[in-house]
Amino acid sequence: MQRDSFKQHISGQFNAELEAVKNHLLEMGGRVESQVALAVEALLARDSGQAADVIAGDEEVNIMQVKIDEECSHILARRQPAASDLRLVIAVAKVTTDLERIGDEATKIARQAITLSEQAQSRSGSAEVRQIGRHVGLMLRSALDSFARQDEITAVDVVVDDDTVDSEYASAMRSLVTFMMEDPHNIGPVLNEMWALRALERVGDHASNVAEQVIYLARGLDVRHMEPTELRAHIQGNRNPEDRDTE
């Protein structure tokens, strides 16, 4: 009897550790979400002070990543998780990498904001930055929500949505090239906006990676290199057929 209660105690602690690492990941997600939003705002407002805050804030994101990765290593070493618990730890360790890189992209946007704040105002692609910034912000939010709720339907939407961001990005680039052609004085500032857009497009890619981990988590299926349409058909058509270790 004592042994059973000991086991339950251990298993309760283990569950608490899994819950904690998941919550820390979501906190990190919330943090990078806000970093991206603040960086885009700083860019649009040419606000170098706010941009500097974003750059300084990246340190905290990095610290969060290192801590969460350590938690994952400890759980793997001491708890030897199996089945869906193991998948959760692996998914968390993969997602920290994406979130940290989203933090880096926010920093890159903030750097462009500072450069732009120092330049004379010229014709610019602010509309494009605003639109794509809002779009990838929503994608990131949905990706994190889908992780929190292990909601694979929302996760699939995020992966599919990344294609839309890619075409918005391509079309924004074409407009910006036109601004450059019109007047060589635009070249410098427009390039800064192009780098910022590139960073936003990368945020979309990372959000999509996060969503792919949600699908891995939910059904033990690695969908990272599946085409979005194939993926949607696969997820909607099958109720968990490839899950190798359901509890």
69 near its own copies, rule: CB under 8 A: yes
Binding mask 11-50 for its own copies (x = CB under 8 A): ----------------------------------------
- Tell me which residues in 190-219 interact with its own copies (CB under 8 A): 191, 198
Instruction: Give the sign of the dihedral formed by CA 83, CA 86, CA 90, CA 96.
Output: positive
Position among 11, 73, 119, 171 found at the interface with its own copies (CB under 8 A): 73
- Tell me which residues in 113-172 interact with its own copies (CB under 8 A): none
> Which range, of 22-30, 34-42, 90-98, 162-170, touches its own copies by CB under 8 A?
90-98
Residue 57's closest CA among 100, 9, 14, 89?
Answer: 100
**Contact (Cβ atoms closer than 8 angstroms) between residue 207 and residue 140:** yes
Number of residues that bind its own copies (CB under 8 A): 31
Q: What are phi and psi of 186, to 5 degrees?
A: -75, -15
State in angstroms the smallest separation of the CB of 181 from its own copies.
5
Give the whole-angstrom CA distance, residue 63 versus residue 161.
Answer: 30
Residues near its own copies, by CB under 8 A: 59, 62-63, 65-66, 69-70, 72-73, 76-77, 80, 82-83, 86-87, 90, 93-94, 97, 177, 180-181, 184, 187-188, 191, 198, 222, 224-225
